[in-house]
Amino acid sequence: MTTDPGETPDASRSTFAQGANGLVIWVARHWLALFNTAWAIYLFTPFLAPIFMRLGWPMAAQVIYSIYSVLCHQLPSHSYFLFGADFAPPASTLIAGGMSASSNLYAQRAFIGNAEIGWKVALCERDVAIYAGVFVTGLLYALLRDRLRPLPFKIYVIFLIPIAIDGLTQLFGWRESNWWLRTITGVLFGFASVWLAYPYLEEAMQEVIEDEVARRERG
C-alpha cells in the first residue's frame, strides 16, 4: 500500500478513522433497511431452487440446496413443494414419487422432487414461516418504530410455547406435526422475536448516532 508523500501517518489514520466512523453512522441510520434486505434474501432465495429446477437449471438449483442444507434439515415431508399438485405433499406421495422409504434422514433429505410431485423449497416449512414472520414484522416495524416499545420478556415466552410444544413433541416422536401448525408456530416465533429485539436495536443505534454527533460537536 502506498501513501501520498505529503501525507503524514497521523493524517492517514485520521482519514481512516473518519471513514470508519462514517460507515458506523450509516449502518446505525439504515440498520432496519439492511436487516429487512438480508432477511428477504435469506427467505426468498430457497424458492429459487425449485424455480431453477422447473427452468431446467439443475446446477444453479443444487448450489442453493447445498448452501441451505447446512442451515436446515430440508426433510421433504416437512417442506413446501412448488409446481406440483400439492404444495405440502404427504410422506406417502413423496415415497411413491421416489423419496427413500427408509428411516435414514440423510437419504430422505436428498430427495428434491421431480416434475410430477414438484420441486422442494430449499428451506423447511417451519423455517420459511419463522423468517417470513421476521421479514414481514420488520416491514411493519418500519412504520411503528417511533411508537413501539419492546415486547416484555414474559409475554415473549408465551409466544414461544406453541413452537416449543409443536417442535419438541414431534422431535420425541410423540406425535407428527403438519404444515399449518409449523407455519402458525413459526410465524408467531418470528413475529415475537422482532417485537422483542428490534426496539432495543433501535435504541442502541440511536445512542451510536447521538454519541457521534456529540463527539463532532466537541471536536
Residue 10 has pLDDT above 80, yes or no: no
- Asked, for residue 12, whether it belongs to a domain, the answer is no
- Asked, for residue 89, whether it belongs to a domain, the answer is yes
- Asked, for residue 124, whether it belongs to a domain, the answer is yes
Q: Which helix (H) or strand (E) holds 216?
A: helix 179-218
Q: Which helix (H) or strand (E) holds 114?
A: strand 113-114
Residue 218 has pLDDT above 80, yes or no: no
- Asked, for residue 5, whether it belongs to a domain, the answer is no
- Asked, for residue 11, whether it belongs to a domain, the answer is no
What angle separates helix 179-218 from helix 9-55, to the nearest 10 degrees?
Answer: 160
CA distances from 47 to 28, 41, 50, 87 (A): 30, 10, 6, 12
Mean pLDDT of the chain: 91
Residue 21 has pLDDT above 80, yes or no: no
- Asked, for residue 84, whether it belongs to a domain, the answer is yes
pTM over 0.85: yes
Largest CA distance in the chain: 75
How far is the C-alpha of 119 from the C-alpha of 134, rounded, in Å? 25
> Per-residue confidence at 5, pLDDT binned at 50, 70, 90?
low
pLDDT of residue 219: 61
* Higher-pLDDT residue of 18, 65: 65
Residue 7 has pLDDT above 60, yes or no: no
For residues 23-27, average pLDDT: 89
For residues 37-66, average pLDDT: 98
Residue 16 has pLDDT above 70, yes or no: no
* Domain that residue 70 falls in: 31-218
Task: Give the count of domains, the chain.
Answer: 1
- Asked, for residue 8, whether it belongs to a domain, the answer is no
Q: Which helix (H) or strand (E) holds 72?
A: none
pLDDT tens for residues 131-156? 999 999 999 999 998 888 999 999 99
Calculate the CA 119 to chain-centre distance.
Answer: 21
How far is the C-alpha of 196 from the C-alpha of 40, rounded, in Å? 20
Instruction: Give the cell for residue 64.
Output: 442453493
pLDDT tens for residues 155-211? 999 999 999 999 999 888 888 899 999 999 999 999 999 999 999 999 999 998 888
pLDDT of residue 4: 55
* Highest mean pLDDT pick, 5-9, 26-30, 63-67, 176-180: 63-67
